[in-house]
Structure formats: structure tokens, C-alpha cells
Amino acid sequence: MTGLPKTAEELALMETARRVLPGGTFGNFPADIVIRSGKGGHVWDVSGNEYVDFLLGSGPMFIGHCHPRVDAAVIEQIGRGTTFFANNEHGIRLAEAIVEAVPCAEQVRFLSSGTEADLYAMRLARAYRGRPKIVKFEGGYHGMSDWALMSLAPKRLANFPAPVPDSPGIPDALRHEVLVAPFNDAEAAVRLIEAHQEEIGGVIMEPLQRLIPPKPGFLQAVREVTARLSIPLIFDEVVTGFRFAYGGAQELYGVTPDICTLGKIAGGGFPLAAVAGKAEIMALFDRAAAGEERFLMQIGTLSGNPVAAVAGLATLAVLREPGTYEAVFATGRALMEGLSRLIAEAGIPAQCLGEPVLFDVVYAEGEMRDYRALLRQDTAMQRHVNAVLRAHGILKGDSKYYLSTAHTAEDVARTLEAFRAALATLPASRSAA
């Protein structure tokens, strides 16, 4: 397949990357593109090729690249200092904005990445309850810590609740500290939590697991059993926070956890994440309130960084403008409906899965209720279509379209034309119903 043309400059950078970076990448995205700039809903590579950007830096650029209000706030703050380690006014104001927006948030502790936030949220829950085990759901992504890399994408399937390590280097002893449940199976989740209630420190889950929406009543059932047994419930909202609604997925789905984690949008494109939750639980981060025995130490050089904080504050101010969420959801629905129409016309076994601001095409038929159902999809077809989209100037991740407030009807139309072209390249035997 012929991609977009590459200049000597970009090819040389790719060669340098192969020499100095493992696999030639930062570990995030394929090595065959080097991005130079972004504006609104588009990015440009070093060769000057323009792409409609549905990658959005893996999600944080929800109001688009180089938004003038974010840029102005950041430039002003850089002239005043880039980091202090001590409290700064903008970090305090951002914490206040999060508390006002997010249903479960009574207090906030800042960190620099979603991985850190999820790691500390799990540690916080275990410390608060004084129990060692964490319950997670098979296929759920909670960062790159040892605890999180249990049954994220297991290469072999195990009987629940046994976890499967996703990476070498994870201590074998951790197998005994993580319990795994199937997503969207309320009966199984409740049964597992009740059976192990004396060992469980907390339950962590993505309210929308990767692309899979919760079935009606599922989140409510997990919330009910954890509340009844006084087990902290953690919603990982690093992706969904401020994306699904101003109050996140917990606002959209109407279920409030005890703790949540935030990132991506909250930092406006800069390294910032947060743990937020009930004051009684968050008090463990306060030595004076918790006491020496229960105090949970957490230190981060860049936690609450003022540049990231002003970017986050400027982003949230844009999102509070009337009609913002209605508009981006409408754009996402138009793209989902257009893709679904083209899928039906081509007669391929595929479907759109997710919410209008975060979804993808899954190349499989039938109900997609959990990780094991997703294993049915034709990943070769998915890779092929994504490659053709890239060759037509549509940039997306392996398994997501991230929508932004900067995407336009013209971007939707261009994407649909590229998708139509991609489907036309599929062999007839693969595109038959």
C-alpha cells in the first residue's frame, strides 16, 4: 500500500529514532510517522502531510491543538515560572474546579500521569480499608503498574477470578493480590465481591471499558455491593473524565464512585493527572489527619505543575461554554452513523462500538459485552483499514476515534470518503456478509 510521501528530513529522523529509541518509537505509536505540528483537529508530519487527527495525543486534546485560550494561558505562566514544588495558585484553582465538576470529588491529589493516578488510587483504597486485594475487570486498562498489568490483554484465558500477568517482570506473588471479574456480568461481579469481601481493599473499573459501554444496571450493581460492604469503588476516568460530560462518565451514567482518577483533558495536553474522592478517604494523604500509622506518603516533583494547571483551567473554561458537549456529541454521532451506513452498504461483519466522543469500528458481529467478545474481531481487517485511512490522511490509533470540539462536518465527510476507499480495497470474500 502506498502511503503519503516522505521527505528526506522525515526519513532521516525515522532512521535516527531507530538508532536511539527501542523499536524506533516512544513506545506509543508506530515509527512510520513523525509529527511536527497540530492546529485544531488536524496535525502535520515533518514531510508536510496533513491529517485529520482522531488520535488527539491519545485523547487529551479534546478542544483541539493550539487552542488560543490554552496557548495564551501557558505562555503567560511560562514567563512567571514553570515549576515550584510548593503549592501554586493555579494548581489550587484547578483542584477547586475538579471538586465543583466531578460528583465524587471532595478533595484532589495531583500527579503527573494516569498510571501514577491509578497506582495511587489502588494503594489508597487498600490503605483505607486495610485489606490487600484489588478487584479489576478483564480487559480493563489502568496504566502500566504491576497491579494494572494483570489481565489487561491476557494471551491466554484463565478461569475467573485468577489474573494473568500481561508483562514479564511482574512478581509472581502479585497473582494472589488481584481478583479478575468479567465486565458487564453483574451477577458474577457481585458474587466475587461478596465471596472475597474480607480480603478486598478496593474495586477499580473503567465505567466504559476501552470501547465497551456498560449494560443497563451493571455499574449500579457494582456500586450497590461495594457500598453495602464498605469497599471503596474506583472509577478510572483518565479517559472519560471531562469527555463524556463535564462531570465525566459518573455524570453521564448516573453512578458515583468513592474515588476516581483523572488525566488527559484535565491537564489540557500537559503532564497532569489526579486522584479525587471522598474527603474521609483522601485524608490518608494528610499526615496530621491520618496519623503516622495510616499516613499514605505521595510525593511528585511535578505534581500540580503550574503550566499544566493553567492549561487545564483554560480547557475546562472552554468546556463550560453552553452547547460545547452537545456540539461534539453531534459531530461524533454523525461520524458513527456515516461509518455504520458504509459498513451496511459494504456488507462487512463490523459495527461501531463506544460513545460518540470515543468509539471505533469493531470488525465482528454479535454483542460486544466484554473482553472475550472482542477477541472475535478480525484484527487483520482492522489493521488494513487503519493503514488505508492513514494513507488518505486520517490519523487514528489502533482501536479508537477520539473526537474533539475542533472537528468539523468537513472532517467527518473527508473521513467517510477515506473509509469508503478503505472498504473498497477489501477482498470480496472478506467483505461478504
Q: Which residues are catalytic?
A: 141, 236, 264
Residue 155 burial (10 A CB sphere; 0-12, 13-18, 19+): exposed
Provide the 10 A C-beta neighbour count for residue 178.
25
Eight-class DSSP state of 172: G
| 233-236 β-sheet, strand order | 107-111, 273-277, 259-262, 233-236, 200-205, 133-137, 178-181
Pick the closest to residue 397 from 361, 421, 368 (CA basis): 361
The DSSP H or E segment spanning 36 is strand 35-39
Environment class of 281 (CB within 10 Å of its CB; exposed 0-12, middle 13-18, buried 19+): buried
Beta strands in 206-270 (DSSP E): 233-236, 259-262
Q: What is the three-class DSSP state of 342? A: helix
CA distance 101 to 315: 13
Calpha distance 315→266 (Å, rounded): 8
SS3 call for 69: helix
| CA 201 – CA 194 distance, rounded (Å) | 13
The three cell numbers of residue 106 are 471532595
The answer for residues whose C-beta is within 8 angstroms of residue 7's C-beta and 6 or more apart is 46, 47, 48
Contacts of residue 84, Cβ cutoff 8 Å, sequence gap at least 6: 306
| Cell numbers placing 139 | 480487559
The residue behind cell 494528610 is: 286
Q: In what order do the strands lie in the sheet with 42-45?
A: 35-39, 42-45, 50-53, 394-395
Read out DSSP for 275-309?
EEE-HHHHGGG-HHHH-TTT------TTTT-HHHH
Calpha distance 43→35 (Å, rounded) = 7
375, amino acid identity: L
